[in-house]
Amino acid sequence: MEKTSEKKTVLVTGASSGIGQGIAIGFGQLGARVIVNYHSDKEGAQYTLNKITASGGEGFIHQADVSSEDEVQAMYAKAVDAYGPLDVLINNAGIQKDSSFSNMSLDEWNAVIKTNLTGQFLCAREAIRLFEQKPDVGDNDKSKGNIIFISSVHDVIPWAGHVNYASSKGGISMLMKSLALEVAQKKIRVNCISPGAIATDINDDVWKDKEKMAELLKLIPYKRIGQPEDIAKAAIWLASDESDYVTGTTIYVDGGMTLYPGFLENG
Ligand code: BGC
């Protein structure tokens, strides 16, 4: 990734591991100021920050449960104290609690909706409030703030045994589009990245198992599992002025998983 003199302030939720960690490190390599949010893995967050500072970026780690309004507001207050108004929110924190539908407890349903959907709402709302306080820019100027929701291919691919997760991701899709419409005239851009199978802790039961991995690859026309860097590169582009005319859209970074791979030789 090329270095840039542009020092963006970027808040990445769920940045102690996986996709969030990869994105936070990617922005660090560009010299950005990165607020590394984490929920429970302080060591992972510290690792992310070390990588950021080692490559010329700066930042700090901050513990907050994204589904808590108070904790989210306190996190933004600290970010503004440190760096002033935010430029980019990477709305990433998410969890899975898998269960067949009839066995799914209300707790499993609520936990996933709270973190994946309500958490993204709360973090996006605070970011929008900050962006709205920035001075107005002209119609032909670049955007004054960017939100990137990290969703999943399961915002369009139904997923048996994961109804809570797929519902949360489908919800993010309409949250993103409706918000994008609401704030576009304020020169705020809102987009989504929907990753396919990316090798992270969330699915290590699959990619660490040879047989399950072989089954997974049948669902990926491009025939490799993704890496967090694949998502980081898309996020960096979406957060940059290079994508200034892009808002309200979803980029699927999935090796073709959304191409109905079963139709390669059938149908
Ligand atoms: C899930 C992963 C899964 C991938 C593809 C992601 O959203 O978190 O567990 O491997 O979708 O199915």
CATH number for position 110: 3.40.50.720
**How far apart (Å, rounded) are the C-alpha atoms in residues 80 and 123?**
14
The reply to whether 144 falls in a domain is: yes
Question: Which residue, judged by its Cα, is nearest atom 7 of ligand 1?
Answer: 152
State phi, psi for 232 to the nearest 5 degrees. -60, -45
Give the β-pairing of 188-195 and 145-150: parallel
**How far apart (Å, rounded) are the C-alpha atoms in residues 179 and 191?**
9
Question: Which of 17, 92, 153, 224 has the most ligand 1 atoms within 8 A of CB, as the residue to mutate?
Answer: 153
**How far apart (Å, rounded) are the C-alpha atoms in residues 68 and 74?**
10
The reply to whether 74 falls in a domain is: yes
Indicate the SS3 state at residue 226.
strand
The reply to whether 51 falls in a domain is: yes
Beta bridge partners of 188: 145
Positions of the chain with pLDDT under 70: 1-6
The reply to whether 186 falls in a domain is: yes
The residues, ordered by sequence, that sit 6+ positions from 258 with a Cβ below 8 Å of its Cβ are 153, 156, 157, 194, 196, 252
The reply to whether 126 falls in a domain is: yes
How far, in Å, is the centroid of ligand 1 from the Cα of 145?
28
pTM above 0.95, yes or no: yes
b/e sequence 157-174, b meaning 16+ C-beta within 10 Å: bebeebbbbbbbbbbbbe
Q: Are 223 and 217 in contact (CB under 8 A)?
A: yes
Q: Which atom of ligand 1 is nearest to the CA of 206?
A: 10
Beta bridge partners of 63: 38
**How far apart (Å, rounded) are the C-alpha atoms in residues 34 and 88?**
10
How far, in Å, is the centroid of ligand 1 from the Cα of 152?
7
The reply to whether 81 falls in a domain is: yes
The reply to whether 32 falls in a domain is: yes
* pLDDT value of residue 7: 82
Question: Which residue, judged by its Cα, is nearest atom 10 of ligand 1?
Answer: 197
Question: Which residue, judged by its Cα, is nearest atom 12 of ligand 1?
Answer: 197
Q: What is the number of domains present in the chain?
A: 1
Helix axes 106-113, 163-183, angle to 10 degrees: 30
Q: How far is CA 110 from CA 39, 85, 96, 115, in A?
A: 17, 32, 11, 9
* pLDDT value of residue 3: 44
Residue 162 domain boundaries: 9-200+226-260
How far, in Å, is the centroid of ligand 1 from the Cα of 140?
38
Catalytic residue annotation: 165
How far, in Å, is the centroid of ligand 1 from the Cα of 254?
10
203 in contact with ligand 1, CB cutoff 6 A: yes
* pLDDT value of residue 159: 98
The reply to whether 77 falls in a domain is: yes
